Structure 1
Amino acid sequence: MIKKIILGIFLSGTCSLFAQQTLSGVVFEDVNQNGKKDRLEKGIAEVSVSNGREVVITNGDGKYELPVGEDDIISVVKPSGYKVGKNEDNLPQFFYIHKPKGSPDLKFKGVEPTGKLPKSVDFALIPSEEKENFTALIFGDPQPYTQQEVDYFADGIVAEVEGIENVPFGLSLGDLVGNDLDLFNPYIKAVKNAGIPWYNLLGNHDINFDVENDIFSDETYEAHFGPANYAFNYGKVHFLVLDDVLYPDPRDGKGYWGGFREDQFEFIENNLKHVPKDHLIVVALHIPLSEPEGRDTFRDEDRDRLFELLKDFPNTLSLSAHTHIQRQDFFGKEEGWQQDKPHHHYNVGTTSGDWYSGKLDENNIPVSTMRDGTPKGYAFINFKGNEYNIDYKVAGKPVDYQMEVFAPKVVAKGRRTKAGIYVNFFMGTEGDEVLYRIDDGEWKEMQYIEDYDPSYIEMVYEWDLTEELMPGKRSSNPIKSEHLWRGNIPTKLETGEHSIEIKATDMYGKTHTAKSSYRLAEPVK
């Protein structure tokens, strides 16, 4: 039954009237997987369904009702033990778009008019065995600005995970493209080749810039991927995917700012009411909750409100990308987190690295190491019930390549030197143990420092010192790395080659190793 109610809403400083309706439907067990509810297929009780603000639970017959306006997307919150259908491009189909008049007229096309509301909007769920131990694949910022860069992404990243097994889904953390929203389809075709269902998230380079209100900044994104705010469950993990790009910036109407609208907070609060308190909450965003280099990149009161809504969940993790570096942040009570155990925020290294810069490798793909010395790559989050650990995989390198070691090639024997051994431990954070030893000698602690990675400095300034242009484009200038360690170089040893061994233990107790060497030579008089 559709009940029409004329409502006035206040939007972008003007009052507009439109018909709000009550939508009804059924969430059902799609036994024959045809996407339609057949007569003998049963409804599924206690499943969350949302219009992007309210969240309701299906009754014993799988039925629900929700109010909808003329610019809403209805989505089902996939419960554990079920999967949703996917389209031919491996995009999960968990939503219904209701825009009777379509999107506004924008530079990049949005949603076509959807027409009248159907009598019933039903969601098909397919029973699926879901283990509580599983791994998700995470991409940060593919961000191609051209078709060539889409090809770099496809050949340098996606090809490496094509046909991946034992990974039930992937997620890209925004900046799927670089301002040209016509590249959404090439991006979709590229990531399709991973061969697994792929979720997406809106970034600041994925928005419609020719709008005056943030509510319309995701129209083209919605046409390709569905809602910009949604949730789903897998095992004992609840994934909360959010658009945290405020555009235009509410402070001055220019640029963007990290934060949320009021309707998003309604969705977050209403959604979390139906999540068991012992489940792990994974909040996926584009702009980090942290503010590197002291810049005001995220609205503080919005972070505080999010933390307030998470205060009763002892198991949490948040993910972001955006910065094109990699770092681990921990929020305690001084930063507004309301639990004794700090909240872990992982700012994931990007698949585009340093925006497809640097020398070309043997496959003519930019090396694209990031400004903090982290090579481009992607992350695997390994879940065990409501616990997790994370692995970072450097693109084009063996799995055990977890750090870069820098040491001088030759040092004067017997002379003190200010040169050092540097280790960039890509997943490291202050407090991790990083040890080194020379020639099977005693293991010694390396000193954690925040400094420029000399390996990256060497890489960048090769472009400035060469007398002939190199293929590719110069990398960005270095910034201080937050996962760098230093050790002194022993010089009172025999002349000749000396081995360096590194042993680093990450926050999850996993130990990683690396090797290098340096040579001692008699001083030149």
Structure 2
Amino acid sequence: MTKLLLPTLLYLLLAGGLSAQDTATGTVYADTNGNGTRDAGEKGIAAVSVTNGERVVRTDAAGRYTLPIGDDHIVSVIKPAGYAVPTDANNLPRFYYIHKPAGSPSSDFAGVAATGPLPDAIDFGLVPREEPEQFTALIFGDPQPYTLEEVDFFARGVVAEVEGIENIPFGLSLGDLVGNDLDLFNPYIQAVKRVGIPWYNVMGNHDLNFDAPTDQLADETYEAHFGPANYAFNYGKVHFIVLDNILYPDPRDSSGYWGGYREDQLDFVENDLRFVPEDHLVVLAHHIPLDEFGGETYRDEDRARLFDILADHPHTLSLSAHTHTQRQDYFGAEEGWRGDSVHHEYNVGTTSGDWYSGRLDDRGIPVSTMRDGTPKGYAFLHFDGNQYRTEYRVAGKPATYQMELFHPRVIARGRNTQAGIYANFFVGREGDEVVYRVDDGAWQAMEYVEEQDPSYEASVYEWDTAEELLPGRRGSNAVPSTHLWRGNIPAKLAAGEHTIEVRATDQFGQVHTGKSAYRVEAVREAGR
């Protein structure tokens, strides 16, 4: 922790909202020609939500709004369906106005420059645009580069694969945009800019101002680059709510961080959802998973209040990252969920994988498979009205690569073996149907197991048994996978090669297959 450059009292005054309140006014209007200026004839848009980060109001018939504002507030428009917000030269959406008359307090990394007096009007121009109810969003988990070299790994290993992608209206990174060095925000922005679509961002625990004494001031550098850490927008029949769910410093002991929300953040969610129709899908995007080790790293009462707020919305989904694994979590009545059906959280695999570890590929980029055996990659979310389905893409592999098979390559004919056939089905969950067959035999069910992925373990032990240094660096130790299945490997077959086929059906009814082969060899008896 470094020495503060401004008195702590000033920090606390700003964070506590003790400065004089003022009133922000403005108009949300249809910028029909998209020039960023309200021209004659461009009318205000009624019933659009605008927020100061806690209060949410609706524009009147002429598109006008009024909001209370202090000396550390961000006013943002909640984009309605059928309109686009402007983007800057880096494809970052500009839907907000930061009001910090004196700027951010001094810190290790620069925050917001002084914005000066409150303008007479804070207007938001929205460009009318057709938005189909069927659309797809692109999702990145934890880019998290700690160096410029790792920014390059991210740019060449992931971004280049989706550069210039078409028919995707926007993308979203789920936090840990960088790894503690906030000077890397700009290189990260330049890398993601190459995708070529509007890009939203979530704040992660490695995106903080670690010298901030209060949680309200831990996102100053983030705000300077990306705007509010808590905001919302609509697309089609989907309402997205982006939240900073890192409490820093940890309110229990002022050391480290804790997953959860401040009261004003939950007030924002509650006020925002008052204007969201119940038949719309509500998607929460935050960094730390909602069940991350219970109260040890997540404040249970915050999750409980969030679930209470969501109770009247039957269609919901949460997105998170943070774990550098991939899993599907579900919340029912036992976990405090009050809806008629369970709440699904998709904990998305990361673009950095296992923190840019592992062997280098032929381009010099770390393979970086995650500790549960999920290869690094990114996700697509496909929406149809208030319904959705997920799709995970492994970087550098075809879209059909959805599982990794592990088994012996050769076994002795007729000898029983405790070795087996393992299928790591990357988007799988307990209860999914996963079956296998050898050659053209009958399909058999595989057993769901919570074990460490042997394929990943083998890759890690390669480092431990090598006689010489390997290029790249050793990956993390394996952790139990939540999407691993096992079947027996037949040994009483004719000598020769035999084909293994695995078929897995995901929670959305999509069928995925994987194939491999092994060899059966006759064993010569001793002396013959």
Residues 454-502 of structure 1, C-alpha deviations (whole Å, 9 max, x = no match): 1001110001111111110100000000000000011111011110001
Name 1:316's counterpart in structure 2. Answer: 316
Q: Are 1:265 and 2:227 matched, yes or no?
A: no
Conserved 8 A contact 2:15-2:217: no
Aligned residue in 2 for 1:50 = 51
1:401 aligns with 2:432: no
Partner of 2:349: 349
| 1:233 Cα offset (Å) | 0.1
- CA 1:524 to 1:203, structure 2 compared with 1: closer, same or farther past 3 Å? farther
Distance apart, 1:301 and its partner CA: 0.5
Shift in Å, 1:206 = 0.2
Deviation at 1:59, TM superposition (A): 0.2
Residues 96 and 121, structure 1, Cα contact 8 Å, conserved in 2: yes
- Return the alpha-carbon distance in structure 2 between the equivalents of residues 434 and 520 of structure 1: 24
1:5 matched residue in structure 2? none
Once residues 451 and 118 of structure 1 are traced to their aligned partners in structure 2, the CA distance between those partners, rounded to angstroms, is 59
| Whole-angstrom CA distance in 2 between matches of 1:88 and 1:434 | 46
Structure 1 counterpart of 2:128: 127
Cα distance change, pair 16–459 in 1 and its aligned pair in 2 (3 A): closer
Q: Separation in 1 of the partners of 2:323 and 2:167? A: 29
Equivalence for 1:150:
151
Give the counterpart letter for 1:257 in structure 2: W
The structural deviation recorded for 1:340 is 2.6
Q: Deviations over 1:292-311 (max 9, x none)?
A: 5x672211010010000000
* 1:107, distance to aligned residue in structure 2 (A): 0.5
One-letter code of the match for 1:392?
Y
2:473 is aligned to 473
Match in the other structure for 1:248: 249
Aligned counterpart, 2:450: 450
AA partner of residue 111 (structure 1): V
Partners in 1 of 2:176 and 2:15 — Cα distance? Answer: 31
Q: Corresponding residue for 2:40?
A: 39
Q: Distance in 2 between matches of 1:10 and 1:110?
A: 13
Partner of 2:83: 82
AA at the equivalent of 1:329? D
Q: CA deviation at 1:18?
A: 2.0
Instruction: Give the secondary structure class of the aligned counterpart of 1:451.
Output: coil
The structural deviation recorded for 1:397 is 0.4
Per-residue CA deviations over 1:333-373 (Å, capped at 9, x if unaligned) read 00000023110011000000000000000111000000000
Alignment partner, residue 301 of structure 1: 301
Shift of 1:451: 0.2
Percent identical among aligned pairs is 66
Amino acid of the residue matched to residue 328 of structure 1? Q
Give SS of 1:481's match.
Answer: coil
Secondary structure at the counterpart of residue 458 of structure 1: helix
CA distance in 1, matches of 2:516, 2:286: 37
SS in structure 2 of the partner of residue 126 of structure 1: strand
| Cα contact 2:368–2:375 (8 A) shared by 1 | yes
1:191 positional shift: 0.1
Aligned to 1:440: 440
Q: Which amino acid aligns with 2:90?
A: D
Aligned to 2:513: 513
Cα 1:137–1:180 shift into 2, 3 Å = same
- Any conservation in 2 of the 1:12–1:213 contact (CA below 8 Å)? no
In the alignment, is the contact (CA less than 8 A) between 2:373 and 2:453 conserved in 1?
yes
Distance (whole Å) between structure 2 residues aligned to residue 282 and residue 523 of structure 1: 58
Render the CA deviation track for 1:112-154: whole Å, top value 9, x for unaligned.
0000011000000000010000000000000000000000000
Q: CA deviation at 1:31?
A: 1.4
Instruction: Normalising by structure 1, report the TM-score.
Output: 0.97
Whether the 8 Å CA contact 1:156–1:395 is kept in 2: the answer is yes
Q: Does 1:431 align with 2:414?
A: no
Deviations 1:435-460 (A, max 9, x none): 10001110000000000111001110
Segments of structure 1 that go 5 or more residues without pairing to the other structure are: 1-8
SS at match of 1:240: strand
Report deviation, 1:291.
2.1
Report the Cα distance in structure 2 between the residues aligned to 1:438 and 1:174, rounded to whole angstroms.
Answer: 43
**Structure 1 CA distance for aligned equivalents of residues 461 and 16 of structure 2:** 57
SS at match of 1:153: helix
Contact 2:11/2:213 (<8 A) preserved: no
Matches within 5 A, 1:104-183: 104-183=105-184
Residue aligned with 2:250, SS:
coil
Q: Distance in 2 between matches of 1:225 and 1:251?
A: 29
Runs of 4+ in 1 over 3 A off after TM superposition: 9-17
3-state DSSP class of the match of 2:482?
A: strand
Pair 1:490 & 2:490 matched: yes
After superposition, the C-alpha distances for 1:140-199 in whole angstroms (9 at most, x for unaligned) are 000000000000000000000000001000000000000000000000000000000000
1:270 alignment partner, SS class: helix
TM-superposed deviation, 1:13: 12
AA in 2 matched with 1:36: T
Q: Partner residue of 2:366?
A: 366
| Cα 1:98–1:414 shift into 2, 3 Å | same
User: CA contact under 8 A between 1:358 and 1:369: conserved in structure 2?
Assistant: yes
Compare 73-82 and 15-24 and name the one that shifted more: 15-24
Aligned pairs for 1:328-339 (under 5 A) are 328-339=328-339
Q: Residues 409 and 518 of structure 1 are in contact (CA less than 8 Å); yes or no, is this contact kept in structure 2?
A: yes
Q: Report if the CA contact (8 A) 2:13-2:19 is conserved.
A: no
- Deviation of the 1:19 alpha carbon: 1.9
Asked whether the equivalents of residues 423 and 486 of structure 1 are also in contact (C-alpha less than 8 Å), the reply is yes
2:73 counterpart of 1:72: yes
| Alignment RMSD (CA, Å) | 1.4
Cα 1:262–1:451 shift into 2, 3 Å: same
In 1, Cα distance between equivalents of 2:381 and 2:333: 26
Paired AA for residue 20 in structure 1: Q
* CA contact 2:15–2:214 (8 Å) conserved in 1: no
Alignment match, 1:3 = none
Aligned twin of 1:392: 392
Deviation of 1:17 after TM superposition, in Å, equals 4.4
Is contact 1:10-1:16 (8 Å) kept?
no
Question: Against the structure 1 CA distance between its residues 252 and 522, is the aligned structure 2 distance closer, same or farther, given a 3 Å change threshold?
Answer: same
Rounded to whole Å, the distance in 1 between the matches of 2:196 and 2:17 is: 44
Q: Residue 436 of structure 1: SS of its match in structure 2?
A: strand
